């Protein structure tokens, strides 16, 4: 059976440089269906319309039993593996995943694809072409197969400031948090924030320097290795180290009492599926908030990958986990060739809060002005935003006046919320031993993650999937409405827009409304 939407083509301009070696081995991740005898999935849309203290979430263990993979389906995959000489690796009933390992040529043959070596500029990768074909033994059971293709999947959404101007400013993350009126008397104690990273790393000396400079006690940071990836700083501040250290320093300095867990995974479709599932279903660290600052245009993902990641975010909502995702740094086109308007994924999942970007000017800790971030004219990026051509308009956006997508599809609008992201009003951080000013929507996701950590601590319960509440009219005063600027495709205006969503936060007001709104 052909796995619908699983086709892959070579990267643009790629050339075949040879086959794979017969001795090469590969570990693939199979995603199986939800158990057929499961009770109805929690109505997260309805749950999201009531105050957090009135909700009832499933624990990770309860979710695995009720809505994970059926033991018979996991057994069917294991039987298939044994019959073909493959090794069964990690199995997660909650995430509905099974890893199988074996010779790459044999695994490719079993799933009906040809695997070859390709080169596209500086990128060399093992790639497959065409669709995945499911063996008869797995039809109706397996819904995704990942790992035969290891091309780079996504990019980090951060920008180091490179073209200084007299009007530029830079802020400590704590200053931005104060300007957004983050709740005082809370530091994230008791909360765990998961940060997903797909390359690079951080150094302990950089963190010590940064937290010393801002006068904040460094939070506890734990590393989780996914699919063999590790905390591996490259020494290149323009590379993924900039993303990793930005995330840790922004989240850590604004919630120093929280526990940060950094999940490192390869930058592949398989790495994304495995890392997000690891964080969502992590029964050891149990993050209540997940921040993801990497992504790619919706069209850059296979349908099974989008479905698997969207399902993981939906799983998170049933367990009271809030997922924040950066909306992208390349304006309304998301950097696609030709400039067609498109949105970034996973920010376009209806089960996450997509985070857009602004340019923020302060006097002390008081907002003087805030407009849409757009520095495309000088090559320093702009906030992503637009309308999905994959995910339909969710009920929580029914009153937001989301325009049709360019192809006419009535889709989910991106982003939902915003925060300071312009490198010209960026964050003062330490990357690879040097002080740097960094922006990008990458900074907005961990900033909002820190806000929810403070709110969770203050409420005594997780806010979880909060989209519907944020879009309700009674929550309008929880945002600074951004009405000026554009992202080269959409313009800001009163209420929700496809540049900055509902706006940047008034944290104290948001906490108050989450406590008291009906």
Active-site residue flag, 506:
no
First to last CA, the chain: 49
Cα 232 to its chain centre, rounded Å, is: 20
Which one from 149, 243, 314, 432 is the annotated catalytic residue? Answer: 243
Cis? peptide before 415, omega within 30° of 0: yes
Which one from 227, 247, 344, 380 is the annotated catalytic residue? Answer: 247
Q: Which one, of 455, 432, 429, lies nearest residue 440 by Cα?
A: 429
Which one from 442, 458, 497, 504 is the annotated catalytic residue? Answer: 442
Contact 499, 490 (CB under 8 A): yes
> What is the pairing mode between strands 386-392 and 411-414?
antiparallel
Active-site residue flag, 243:
yes
DSSP 76-125: HHHHHHHHTTPEEEEEETTTTEEEEEEEHHHHHHHTT-EEEEEEETTEEE
Q: Which one, of 343, 362, 350, lies nearest residue 441 by Cα?
A: 343
Cα 109 to its chain centre, rounded Å, is: 32
Contact 230, 223 (CB under 8 A): yes
**3-state SS class at 363:** strand
Contact 273, 146 (CB under 8 A): yes
Residues 6+ apart with CB under 8 A from 361: 169, 367, 368, 369, 370, 425
Active-site residue flag, 54:
no
Residues, the chain: 518
Residues 6+ apart with CB under 8 A from 31: 96, 97, 142, 143, 144, 145, 146, 273, 304, 308
- Tell me the C-alpha to C-alpha distance, in Å, between residue 205 and each of 212, 271, 333: 10, 27, 38
User: Backbone phi, then psi, for 405, in 5-degree steps?
Assistant: -65, 165
Q: List active site positions.
A: 243, 247, 442
């Amino acid at each position: 059976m052909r796995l619908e939407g699983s086709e892959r083509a070579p990267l643009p301009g790629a050339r075949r440089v040879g086959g794979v070696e017969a001795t090469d081995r590969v570990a693939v991740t199979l995603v199986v269906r939800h158990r057929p005898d499961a009770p109805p999935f929690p109505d997260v849309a309805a749950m999201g319309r009531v105050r957090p203290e009135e909700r009832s979430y499933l624990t990770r263990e309860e979710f695995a039993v009720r809505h994970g993979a059926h033991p018979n389906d996991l057994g069917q995959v294991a039987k298939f593996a044994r019959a073909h000489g493959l090794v069964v690796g990690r199995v997660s009933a909650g995430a509905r995943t099974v890893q199988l390992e074996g010779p790459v040529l044999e695994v490719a043959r079993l799933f009906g694809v040809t695997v070859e070596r390709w080169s596209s500029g500086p990128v060399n990768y093992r790639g497959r072409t065409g669709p995945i074909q499911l063996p008869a033994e797995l039809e109706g059971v397996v819904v995704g197969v990942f790992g035969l293709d290891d091309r780079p999947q996504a990019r980090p959404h951060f920008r180091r400031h490179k073209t200084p101007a007299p009007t530029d400013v830079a802020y400590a993350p704590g200053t931005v948090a104060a300007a957004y009126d983050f709740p005082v008397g809370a530091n994230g104690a008791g909360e765990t924030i998961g940060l997903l990273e797909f390359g690079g790393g951080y150094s302990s000396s950089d963190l010590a320097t940064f937290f010393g400079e801002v006068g904040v006690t460094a939070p506890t940071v734990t590393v989780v290795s996914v699919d063999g990836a590790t905390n591996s700083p490259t020494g290149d501040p323009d590379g993924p180290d900039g993303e990793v250290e930005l995330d840790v320093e922004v989240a850590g300095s604004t919630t120093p009492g929280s526990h940060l867990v950094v999940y490192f995974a390869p930058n592949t479709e398989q790495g994304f599926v495995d890392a997000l599932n690891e964080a969502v279903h992590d029964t050891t660290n149990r993050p209540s908030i997940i921040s993801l600052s990497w992504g790619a245009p919706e069209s850059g993902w296979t349908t099974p990958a989008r479905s698997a990641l969207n399902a993981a975010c939906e799983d998170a909502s049933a367990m009271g986990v809030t997922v924040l995702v950066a909306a992208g740094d390349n304006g309304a086109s998301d950097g696609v060739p030709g400039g067609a308007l498109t949105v970034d994924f996973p920010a376009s999942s209806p089960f996450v809060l997509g985070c857009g970007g602004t340019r923020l000017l302060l006097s002390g800790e008081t907002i003087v002005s805030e407009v849409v971030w757009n520095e495309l004219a000088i090559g320093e990026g702009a906030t992503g935003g637009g309308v999905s051509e994959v995910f339909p308009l969710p009920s929580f956006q029914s009153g937001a006046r989301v325009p049709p997508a360019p192809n006419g599809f009535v889709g989910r609008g991106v982003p939902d919320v915003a925060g300071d992201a312009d490198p010209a009003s960026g964050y003062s951080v330490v990357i690879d031993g040097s002080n740097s000013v960094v922006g990008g929507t990458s900074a907005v996701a961990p900033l909002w993650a820190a806000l929810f950590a403070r709110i969770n601590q203050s409420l005594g319960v997780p806010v979880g999937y909060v989209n519907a509440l944020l879009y309700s009219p009674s929550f309008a005063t929880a945002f600074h409405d951004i009405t000026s600027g554009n992202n080269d495709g959409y313009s800001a205006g009163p209420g929700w827009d496809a540049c900055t969503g509902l706006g940047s936060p008034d944290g104290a007001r948001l906490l108050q409304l989450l406590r008291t709104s009906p």
